[in-house]
Amino acid sequence: MAIIEVSNLKKSYGTLEVLKQITFNVNKNDVIAVIGPSGSGKSTMLRSLAHLEEINGGSICISGDYLVKDGVYPRQQEIKQITAKMGMVFQHFNLFPHLTVKQNLELAPKLVKKESPASLEKRSMELLTKIGLADRASAYPNKLSGGQKQRVAIARALMMNPEILLFDEPTSALDPELTGEVLQVMKELAEEQMTMIVVTHEMGFAKEVANKVVFMDNGEIVESGHPDELFSNPQFERTKAFLSRSL
Ligand code: ADP
Ligand code: MG
């Protein structure tokens, strides 16, 4: 069953056409790796799903509700309800620097869902335990390594109980020795059947964890398929050229 349906998505910045008729579906429990050269529109596509960008045409349907239909957005209240089904993790973590780790986790559910202090305390400590950072609950982000910051950002997204998690190059800002701990947390989420779209340059992760790889180039999806198929037998010259540079 499709949990995300994207059809004919178009996005331009001024005269620059960044996304050209993007169409794809995400099924429940899919782990989709989005790969492609810098500037191909991967972030714009992901940000459009989370309504961090408004698109110029096409439709995005999230578990049965249109975030945008034929380029037309519903009222703000409805948009909020739909985007609440998704959590996003960014390359640069985007933690609140003036809040502790635990406060970072608790802020959104406290403000948005008016969750009780007892429930917040219980769930935030459970999630911090899950990512191995319960002992850093009172630390401020600047005291953490990049890998720890990104694990906190993932836990913070999980606090809102999203149906879908979107990751935009979650390990690209990390020193190589810190990427493993973040990929491990993501792998565990995949094993727990979390639906995920991951923009990544980590081909090993894509091969091992994703059930579908989407290759984007120049604002288009060139091809997509199971990693075993796409990596070993790419159908298009553009995919071959990209993979030969990346694998
Ligand atoms: P990717 O994530 O694949 O590197 P992006 O989605 O970030 O690609 O960018 C796609 C294209 O859109 C690039 O040419 C980029 O320069 C352009 N772009 C992205 N954001 C903006 C913006 N806010 N204003 C103008 N151009 C943008
Ligand atoms: Mg990007």
Could you read off the pLDDT of 120-154 as tens digits, one per residue? 999 999 999 999 999 999 999 999 999 999 999 99
Q: pLDDT by residue (tens digit) across 26-83?
A: 999 999 999 999 999 999 999 999 999 999 999 999 999 999 999 999 999 999 999 9
- Our answer on whether the CB atom of 178 is closer than 6 Å to any ligand 1 atom is no
pLDDT of residue 208: 96
> Which atom from ligand 1 is nearest to the alpha carbon of 168?
2
How many angstroms does the Cα of residue 114 sit away from the middle of ligand 1? Answer: 36
Which strands make up the sheet holding 212-217, listed edge to edge? 86-89, 164-168, 195-199, 31-35, 212-217, 220-225
Provide DSSP, 77-97. HHHHHHHTTEEEE-TT----T
Which ligand approaches the C-alpha of residue 47 most closely? 1
Mutation test residue for ligand 1: of 12, 13, 49, the one with most atoms within 8 Å of CB: 13
How many angstroms separate the CA atoms of 67 and 77, rounded?
11
How many angstroms does the Cα of residue 41 sit away from the middle of ligand 1? Answer: 6
pLDDT band at residue 3, thresholds of 50, 70 and 90? very high
How many angstroms does the Cα of residue 136 sit away from the middle of ligand 1? Answer: 35
Q: pLDDT by residue (tens digit) across 75-116?
A: 999 999 999 999 999 999 999 999 999 999 999 999 999 999
Q: Residue 197 gets which letter from DSSP?
A: E
Three-class DSSP category at 55: coil
pLDDT higher than threshold 90 for residue 247 = no
Mutation test residue for ligand 1: of 20, 44, 45, the one with most atoms within 8 Å of CB: 44
Which ligand approaches the C-alpha of residue 91 most closely? 2
Whether the CB-CB separation of 88 and 39 falls below 8 Å is answered with no
pLDDT band at residue 246, thresholds of 50, 70 and 90? confident
Whether the CB-CB separation of 116 and 148 falls below 8 Å is answered with no
pLDDT higher than threshold 80 for residue 170 = yes
pLDDT higher than threshold 90 for residue 1 = no
**Spatial CA neighbour of 210 closest among 79, 31, 37:** 31
Whether the CB-CB separation of 188 and 151 falls below 8 Å is answered with no
32 strand-pairing partners: 197, 212
Residue nearest to atom 11 of ligand 1 (CA): 39
- Our answer on whether the CB atom of 40 is closer than 6 Å to any ligand 1 atom is yes
pLDDT of residue 168: 98
